[in-house]
Amino acid sequence: MSTARIQEANGHAAEETNFLGSFLKKVTISTSNGKLTLPQIIIIGVISVFILLTPQMLSNYRLNLVISILTTAYFAQCWNLMSGYTGQFSFGHAAFYGIGAYTSSILFVDFGINPWIGLICGMMVSGIVAALIGYLSFHYNLKGDYFALATMAFCEIFRVIFKNTKALHAASGVSIPFSKKFALMQFGSKAGFLYVAFIMLTMITFGLYKIRRTKMGLYFVAVRENEDAARALGINAFKYKMIALIASAMLSAVGGTFYAQYYLYIDPTICFGNTVSISAITPCIIGGVGTVFGPIIGAAIIKPISEITNSALSNFVGMNMVVYGLILVIVIMVMPKGVIGLVQELRVKMGKKKKTEG
Amino acid sequence: MNAFFQASIDGVLMGGVYALAALGISLIFGVMKITNFAHGALITVGMYVTFELYVLLGITPYVALPLVMVTMFVIGYLVQKVFLNPLMGVAGHNQLLLTQGLAIVIENAILVMFSANYQSVSVPGFETAIRLGSITINKPKLVAFLFVAIIAAGIYVLLEKTDLGRAIRATSVQPEGATLMGIVVPRINQIAFGLGIVCAGVAGALLTPTQYIYPTSGNTYSLKCFVIAVFGGLGNIWGAILAGLIIGVVESFSALWLGGSWSELIVYMIFILTLIIKPTGLLGKKG
Amino acid sequence: MKRLNKVLATVLASTMMATMVAGCAAGSGSGAAGGSGSDSKVIKIGSVHPLTGNYAYEAQSIINSQKLAIEEINAAGGITSMGGAKLELVVGDSQASADTGASETERLIAEGCSILTGTFQSGVTLTCMQKAEQNEVPFLVTVSNNVAMFENGFEWCFRIQPNADVFAQDFIEYISAVKTDDIKTAVLIHEDSLTGTDSGDIISENMASTGIELLDRITYSASTSTLSTEVTKLADLKPDLLITIGYFADTSLLVKELNERGIKIKMVCGVANGGISDSKFISDFGDSVENFLDLNYRFNPNSDKTKALLESYKAKYSDDMSVHAVWGYESIYVIADALERAGSSKPEDVRNAMKSTNITEHVLAQSGAITFDTKGENINAAGVLVQIQNGKHVVVYPTEFAESELRYNK
């Protein structure tokens, strides 16, 4: 079936003898059930240590960038779980993120409930909302662009509701008092937030990595590749799409709570704006949708680029965004499968080339 | 009672403009299955083209219309040729993001070239509305409505009665089959996209007498016109028109009874209900 | 062609990887937060505003006036207590988004800014203020109305403009004073984000004390494409007074609609209305907006300093200075004053000096000096009632700043 197809696509490079080809083969992580090889683990390890040491090396501003990369990557991975793995493209993921942020923040500011508990509540509420949205969408068979637009509409609905409802603070938003207490989910210095973000990202990435070898993971992929065929084989597509959506939503809610605790202010646009949803998708497109490490690579590319364009072009109003947009456009045109997809293709080409030459 | 009639008229007139913008989206999606997120930005481009012609040649938007149409067609044709044709057949989400990226580039290129200053176009005689008893009818919107009807009819004739139209329809139903029939699909795509963008540009041009022109002025139409296009049935011209009118009226009455902020909600809820109950929209074919 | 694509892509990918590393690495900037010591020849002032997005025009006018003020100060010898050190504006684009604003705030701090200003949008400003607090760098708000922002016990933040509370209270007070007996009913119409809601709430609650009955409160989204139904509603109610809180584009839609229908309202008064107080508004609507009022912040029209400022702004930027811009201008002077007294560009010294600010020579239309209370708000901040008379904005109330008498419609 489809998993065999994927494995076959990967198994191409059987006899690599050229160095670059074999190096790429070892380093590239694909959407197969492959395990990480030793060189890959070493690279990941080195990068992780590097990240964890940044608080010692960098200024607050650069640390903010690192944290930004980690949280963007985290949110992108949440989206990846849903959209990359099961192929249901959501364009309104900000909804789950925002619900998480608002739930924990309102519970804390208005009712004095500890943010750690608020975090769990946020996950619950987000999960329930996701179940509702999922039920409406999947039961009525919304797919592809229709599903994407529907999720966008749901997100906008939340934005309007939150903006106009007094009990939810309306347009004023929620401001969280600054403290350095761990008990109140504020981790003191930037370093604290960085470690937490790192842990969150590691956990979800590990989860995404492991899932592929489980039955559930295989079913996700089956649904993504060909839902009708999957159903014909007896896989309950509805159930697995729901699971992916709810899990993705709950994890996104955690991201939302983290944002609220880090920036200490949220409002309907910050939480439910269209740009927020896009920010979950862009890293995946750049890195490779449906891959384990793609979103992280994507976040690591796009965030510094927008920082650089912001500071380099600050005196030419508007140029920074033109450049950002152009980069997005060019990346999609030239590397539609993302960085990882590109590397895979190169590897296959190298392998083929060697074969014909040999 | 007066408010009821007034709201109806306002709704229908506004709906006409929505319809034209949605028409472009419907056409593009119908033929190429592309969700064009740059539509709002291209409406803004239409506004600025109109504005420049007004400044340089002193002509009103209505006189400038043919020039605007030609310009927008060329822009649309090129956008499809350079950016979108190479990506045909690739995953839909990439097209969505590509057009989103284009939207960012266009909007901010306008900002760089024209600055953020609010611009306006004035048409002599349009400062007052037409009075019918206690009802007022907004002139520019009435004129826009008429133009929308003409253009929609024109597109209908083009699609149903000309060879080009037949080629476009053939491509939208079955691109592979169309190629076998000798139709150069990439070129048809470019033409279709060009037509869709003409609709966007004309919508922008017709809007210039009614509001200020600034780099983000078209954005408010982006998602709304998508909703309308889907509601009407993607690929169906009369569907887009009908849906535009309905949504215009719904929005108007929501503003009257619930307040302007909530009217957005109603529109999105209609959208979701459409997707659930009949995703092919009002006039789309079932299945 | 495909091969070229691949090569291009590889080059692109590698460049991106390199950029990613470069972007993250401890590159330019001293690494330490805040400004350098008092022996520096250039003092950096940060400015974060939405240069791209819906409020680009307003943001640009603030930056323009900041640059103008800096030019004036530098030409006059810079900061004498620091050996004639010159001021430099470091600009950041918040892109109308809170986290971008926050990131720009931190970038500006890393680039050595001694103090920051911004951001025009209350939501973004609040997030930036949080960052400034955490980094212990002073933040002077240029434009943002929200009251709650300064209720967080911040110790590094200041604001010179009047907040939404002041606007609303001043409105209530002034309207009570200037209204005539035939003004009995009113309708409040405002945009639904923070700006409109803050003042809108206070006005609704306190309207009764003016003796005018509030018939309805109509809200709309600032990015709306039409206000026809809202105007239908208010036309039906036939109020004597129309109170409007909004930005330039939406207020213009409102006035357009009123004009087209030939609706004349006895008294139209904006509260912090970005449209009515803009000179482009007058040039676009001409006679139809004669006698429109706006309760807004403004420069003091009777001061020579102001007159000189208006001329130099126009000469330099070929555009009339907007009321938002005056806060950019004054913010720089407040900062320069603090720097003079501090004799140092270290953020903490600047902050401490700012706390004891007492500026009597300023261009603002407020009685009394610019001084800050413990929360960081300008104690004497006030709004004035401006009216469009003969195609010009003139202050009509309070009498201290009035250039002309208030005119009433029959």
pLDDT tens digits, B217-244:
888 888 888 889 989 988 888 889 999 9
Cα(C286)–Cα(C252) distance, integer angstroms:
12
**Structural domain tally of chain C?**
2
User: Residues C49, C188: one domain?
Assistant: no
Handedness of CA B281, B283, B284, B285 (dihedral sign): positive
Which two tokens mark B27? Answer: 């056409």
Within 10 Å of residue A315's Cβ, how many Cβ atoms?
Answer: 12
User: Residues C60, C153: one domain?
Assistant: yes
User: Residues C169, C285: one domain?
Assistant: yes
Beta-carbon-side half-sphere exposure of residue A50 (alpha carbons within 13 Å): 11
Question: Is B217 part of any domain?
Answer: yes
- The pLDDT-based confidence of A229 (bands split at 50, 70, 90) is confident
Beta-carbon-side half-sphere exposure of residue A89 (alpha carbons within 13 Å): 20
Q: Do B14 and C225 touch (CB under 8 A)?
A: yes
What are the chain B neighbours of C262 within 8 Å (beta carbons)?
128-129, 131, 136
pLDDT in tens, C231-260: 988 888 999 999 999 988 899 999 988 988
Q: Return the partners of chain B (3 or more C-beta pairs < 8 Å).
A: A, C
More confident residue, A135 or C322: A135
Question: Is B134 part of any domain?
Answer: yes
Residue A171 contacts B where some CB pair is shorter than 8 Å:
no
User: Residues C276, C393: one domain?
Assistant: yes
Residue A282 contacts B where some CB pair is shorter than 8 Å:
yes
DSSP string for C14-42: HHHHHHHHHHHSS-SS-SSSS---TT-SE
Q: Helices H, strands E: what count in chain A?
A: 17, 2
Indicate left, alpha or beta for A185 from its phi (over 0: left) and psi (-120 to 50: alpha).
left
User: Residues C177, C242: one domain?
Assistant: yes
B 200-219 near A (Cβ less than 8 A): 215
ipTM of the assembly? 0.85
Indicate left, alpha or beta for B245 from its phi (over 0: left) and psi (-120 to 50: alpha).
alpha
Mutate to test the interface with B, among A133, A139, A141, A333 (most CBs of B within 10 A): A333
Residue C322 contacts B where some CB pair is shorter than 8 Å:
no
User: Residues C268, C175: one domain?
Assistant: yes
Q: State the count of interchain CB pairs (< 8 A) between A and C.
A: 157
CA distance B153 to chain C (A): 25
**Three-class SS of C111-160:** CCEEEEEECCCHHHHHHHHHHHHHHCCCEEECCCCCCHHHHCCCCCEEEC
Task: List Cβ neighbours of A50 (8 Å cut-off, separation of 6 or more).
Answer: none
Please name the amino acid found at residue C224. Answer: T
Domain span at B244: 10-277
Does a cis peptide bond (omega within 30 degrees of 0) precede residue C301? no
Q: Do C248 and B136 touch (CB under 8 A)?
A: no
The SS3 assignment for C219 reads strand
Cα(B120)–Cα(B213) distance, integer angstroms:
6
User: Residues C281, C389: one domain?
Assistant: yes
Contacts 24+ apart (CB under 8 A), C147-151: C147/C198, C148/A172, C148/A175, C149/A175, C149/C122, C149/C125, C150/C375, C150/C376, C150/C377, C151/C375
Cα(C254)–Cα(A101) distance, integer angstroms:
35
Q: Which domain CATH number covers C155?
A: 3.40.50.2300
User: Residues C320, C345: one domain?
Assistant: yes
What are the chain A neighbours of B276 within 8 Å (beta carbons)?
136, 140, 142
Domain span at C240: 165-296+385-397
Q: Do C228 and B128 touch (CB under 8 A)?
A: no
pTM strictly above 0.95: no
User: Residues C157, C184: one domain?
Assistant: no
Cα(B255)–Cα(C229) distance, integer angstroms:
6
User: Residues C156, C169: one domain?
Assistant: no
Q: What's the pLDDT at C328?
A: 93
Using an 8 Å Cβ cutoff, are A171 and A163 in contact? yes
User: Residues C172, C67: one domain?
Assistant: no
Angle, CA of C127, C376 and C55, to the nearest 5°: 45
Q: Which residues pair with C370 in a beta bridge?
A: C359
pLDDT in tens, C62-104: 999 999 999 999 999 999 998 889 999 999 999 888 888 998 9
Cα(C234)–Cα(C190) distance, integer angstroms:
12
C-alpha distances in Å from residue B269, one per residue of B147, C27, C103: 30, 49, 35
What are the chain C neighbours of A320 within 8 Å (beta carbons)?
52, 93
pLDDT in tens, C166-223: 999 999 999 999 988 889 999 999 998 888 888 899 999 999 999 999 999 999 988 8
Walk me through the domains of chain A, giving residue ranges and CATH numbers.
2-357 (1.10.3470)
- The pLDDT-based confidence of A198 (bands split at 50, 70, 90) is very high
Question: Is B2 part of any domain?
Answer: no
CA nearest to B2 within chain C: C236
Question: Is C17 part of any domain?
Answer: no
Q: Do C248 and B118 touch (CB under 8 A)?
A: yes
C-alpha distances in Å from residue C313, one per residue of B200, C66, C120, C279, C364: 38, 11, 20, 14, 16
Residue B91 contacts A where some CB pair is shorter than 8 Å:
yes
Question: Is C82 part of any domain?
Answer: yes
Question: Is B174 part of any domain?
Answer: yes
Q: Which domain CATH number covers B102?
A: 1.10.3470
What are the chain C neighbours of B129 within 8 Å (beta carbons)?
260-262
Dihedral angle at the C-alpha atoms of C252, C255, C261, C262, nearest 10 degrees? -140
Which two tokens mark C326? Answer: 């005056």
CA nearest to B278 within chain A: A140
Residue C320 contacts B where some CB pair is shorter than 8 Å:
no
Q: What's the pLDDT at C11?
A: 58
What are the chain B neighbours of A289 within 8 Å (beta carbons)?
91, 93
Of the listed ranges A204-208, A321-325, B42-46, the one predicted with least confidence: A321-325
Question: Is B287 part of any domain?
Answer: no
User: Residues C277, C393: one domain?
Assistant: yes
**Structural domain tally of chain B?**
1
